[in-house]
Structure 1
Amino acid sequence: MPITLLPKNLPSWIMTVIMIGERITVFGPRVMFLVSLPIMLVSMPSMANDDVTQAETWFNKIRTISADFVQVASDGTSAEGKLVFRRPSSMKITYGKGDELQLITSSVWLHVNRPDERLLTSYPISETPLSLILADKVSFRLDGYETRILPSIAGIVRIQIGKDDGEGAGRLILEFSEKPFRFRRWIVLDAASIETSVTLQNIVYDQPIANEVFRLPEYSDEN
């Protein structure tokens, strides 16, 4: 499947420019939470291995997640939708009713589906920080990445994973509740220092999810 840029004629409210390595790709803020710019990590407390190990174990043991989500950015924009995730690499994120924007992942690609425009575009999942949690075996201590434990807030374990350049570059923060230990939110930071968080709600674990859910649409070449 060819790799293409998202269309440059998107409505102004959805357009922002994101650098992935040395390549410019046009995205809307709704897609922002999947991709972030290379950015220098600030000094943080030393890594707590037990928390990181617990987070890795949680992702490696989970089979499926179905949840609602709320996405909020520090620039005041927000969105809601539904997320389904089947380990290791199948994820579908549907905004609103799904007629405008869907994000569908595989082990290789992030597919951006715009049903209202009958348009499907794709690029390597390896170029996003999200690739860390879509790996066959999740590890947050890979060569080339810097992993830190941030100060906890109200009993929330916060793990920051960063890489300055190359594939998977960016800053990603994963948040887990302590009791019980469960994934609850992720955060990314864009080039304009806009922080975008995605919080999961009404979470259902380990229920079967059919292959059909992740099937890609087949559009003609008429566009």
Structure 2
Amino acid sequence: MKQLVLALAVSLATAAPALADLVPLSALSRYLNDMDTAQGSFTQINADGSISTGTIYMHRPGRVRFEYPGDDLLVIAGGQQVAIFDGRSNTRPETYPLSETPLNLILARNVDLARSGMVIGHRYDGTATRVLAQDPDRPEIGTIELVFTGDPVELRQWVITDNGGGETTVVLGGLTEGGRLSARLFNITQEIQSRER
């Protein structure tokens, strides 16, 4: 019996720091909702194992821009659409509704991670809080796992898993929040027009 109590005490002692470092969903929602603009570098690990780097510009709600200079690619979310531009092609961009991508969960006007059915995983991995989320109305579009450091809370990376099981990881190099970003960065129509000139 004494050994059982000792084992229980040890397990509680080792579990306590992890629980203390787990950032609550309410705090994570507040952090995302308070984020207006942000920019920084990123590294992307693609589903095929290849690695891309670039710059991200975010203007919540609903807008983000990923520039991949090494791959001559550009991804813009704006006007409820996502457009993928391939600089090596003369064709028009591929477009998708933003609502049909997991990225919509962090670009929403009001992020509420406590919404029923949205979060399907919430844990502390020893260094960061990880939140696995899905659109409860469209679980078939895939999931997004958000990784946050605490004190202060900061979004460090996300992993998008599509409905085929392919994973794309974006590791942020440190976001600079605040500041003015031109609306042109997120204007898909203007980007198309500038490329057609």
Q: TM-score, normalised by structure 2?
A: 0.75
8 Å contact 1:131–1:168 — kept in the other structure? no
Secondary structure of 1:187 counterpart: strand
- Consecutive unaligned residues in structure 1, runs of 5 or more: 1-48
Superposition pairs of residues 125-164 of structure 1, within 5 angstroms = 125-150=98-123, 152-163=124-135
8 Å contact 2:141–2:162 — kept in the other structure? no
Alignment deviations for residues 130-172 of structure 1 (CA, whole Å, 9 cap, x no partner): 111111111223355343213x223201001135873773121
Q: Distance in 1 between matches of 2:160 and 2:108?
A: 19
- Hey, which of these two has a bigger chunk of helix by percent? 2
Identity %: 24
1:55 deviation in Å? 0.9
Task: Read off the aligned partner of 1:86 and give its amino acid letter.
Answer: H
Larger radius of gyration: 2
Q: Distance in 1 between matches of 2:57 and 2:192?
A: 21
1:115 deviation in Å? 3.0
**Equivalent of 1:116 in 88, 95, 100:** 88
Secondary structure of 1:84 counterpart: strand
The more displaced of 130-139 and 190-199 is: 190-199
Secondary structure of 2:175 counterpart: strand
Q: Distance in 1 between matches of 2:192 and 2:48?
A: 35
Q: TM-score, normalised by structure 1?
A: 0.67
Counterpart of 1:51 in structure 2 is 24
Counterpart of 1:106 in structure 2 is 78
- Consecutive unaligned residues in structure 2, runs of 5 or more: 1-21
- Hey, which of these two has a bigger chunk of strand by percent? 1
1:212 deviation in Å? 2.0
RMSD: 2.8
